[in-house]
Amino acid sequence: MPKRTMALMTQGAVAAQKDAEIESLREALGNRSEHGITKIPVDQIVPLQISRTIEGMLELIRQPRKYFDPEELDLLVESIHSKGLNEPVAVRPLEDGKYGLLDGERRWRAHQILGIPQIDAIVFNSLTDDGALEWALATDTLKASVSPLEQTLSVINLLSLRLDTDESGVRKILNALNNHEKGKTKIDVPEEHNTIIYGVLGSLGLKLGGLVARLPLLDLPEYLNQRVTEGELSPTNALLISRAPEELHDFLISEGGKLSKQKLRELIEQRKNDAAFQADTQIEPVVLKKRLKSALRKVDKTDAWDDPKKSKRLKQLLQQIERLL
């Protein structure tokens, strides 16, 4: 047995430490009441919006695609209507005099629906663009309701700000770094990229490999995307389905959406084989004859005859074959 490495010995402690850090961040976010709460006109608030210039061009950073379950929104509307707002929303002042939402889009929408003119808000005055995004992301990441897709997109956006490049640039750097880390390639990733990426991942408690594995989520076709967002498909299953032949997608979504990863894989394989088998019969009857002969060669060797069920089934099949031939 080789000696235990430090990596192995520290594994548990490192994980527990990360947990504790997230816990304290959560707490810090929960303690926002030490900031003053003010009332702000609902129509003066706009959703999280971050713009920046790349090579002289003004660009609006893609919004995290937020999906709000209509039923949950109804419940929230109902609750605010009967009991009022529990937790204030968080905003920052924008240059045009409006307020950009950092946290609480659902609560804000509920106020719009109810026609309440003002909302309780905590105003954060000195937040930069990436500070705002990081803040929003940190609150989001800590909430169970954010989908992996939204989370991935938010992290890419944040990295795009920090690394000063666009989405595809960030993805290139992440992939290069991941390959480098796995020892597949030897290219040098610039030290500052390294520091930025690990800094962001560390502060959010994410792993490089995990993030890279989720990147293909951003390329899902819209119909799969929507099902992930609505919680009908798990991200893993959506990825599996997207890689299967396109003509199987409808069938796989309806039959395989709720299956485990392994079962879905089996289903896809089986369907592919069925398709291949059908193709066989059309093109090559010779192959079929061969398969039948080779199957019959096993008649003496198999112990299926000892199993009453299998034996009965064989008898039925034999009768069918005899009739056909």
Partner 1 sequence: MGQGRIAIMSNAGGTGKTTLAANIAYQLARLGKSVCLIGCDPNGSLALFVGLEDPVDKAETLSKVLSPDFDGDWPLLPVWRDKVNSVDAVLGGLHLFEATKQLDQDPRGAYLLSDSLEDHPLPHDYLLFDCPGTVERYHEVALCGCSHILVTLRPEYKDVDAGFKLINWIYDWQKRLRLKPARKILGVVINGFDRNTAMHREIMGNDPDFSLPIALESMDLALLKSLPFSRQLRNSSANGVPLGLWRPGDDINIQFKEIAQRIVEEVEDA
- By CB under 8 A, is residue 112 in contact with partner 1? no
- Out of 16, 296, 304, 321, the only residue in the binding site for partner 1 (CB under 8 A) is 16
CA distance 147 to 152: 9
Binds partner 1 (CB under 8 A): choice among 1, 3, 86, 306: 3
Decide whether 20 or 296 has the Cβ nearer to partner 1.
20
Burial of 11 (0-12, 13-18, 19+ CB in 10 A): exposed
As measured in angstroms, the least distance from the Cβ of 16 to partner 1 is 4
CB of 202 to partner 1, least distance (A): 10
Structure tokens at 260: 């485990």
Instruction: Tell me if 33 contacts partner 1 by CB under 8 A.
Output: no
Among 162, 122, 134, CA closest to 64 = 134
Taking the complex as a whole, how short is the minimal distance between the CB of residue 257 and partner 1, in angstroms?
Answer: 35
Instruction: Examine residue 17 and tell whether it contacts partner 1 (CB under 8 A).
Output: yes
Report CA torsion sign: 93, 99, 104, 105: negative
How many residues of this chain interact with partner 1, rule: CB under 8 A? Answer: 18
DSSP lists the bridge partners of residue 120 as 39
Q: Which is nearer to partner 1, 28 or 275 (CB)?
A: 28
CB atoms within 10 A of CB 154: 25
Task: Indicate the burial class of 57 (C-beta count within 10 angstroms; 0-12, 13-18, 19 or more).
Answer: exposed
Q: Which stretch binds partner 1 (CB under 8 A): 10-18, 58-66, 80-88, 287-295?
A: 10-18
Binding flag, residue 20, partner 1 (CB under 8 A): yes
Residues that bind partner 1 in the complex, under the rule CB under 8 A = 3-7, 9-10, 12-17, 19-20, 23-24, 27
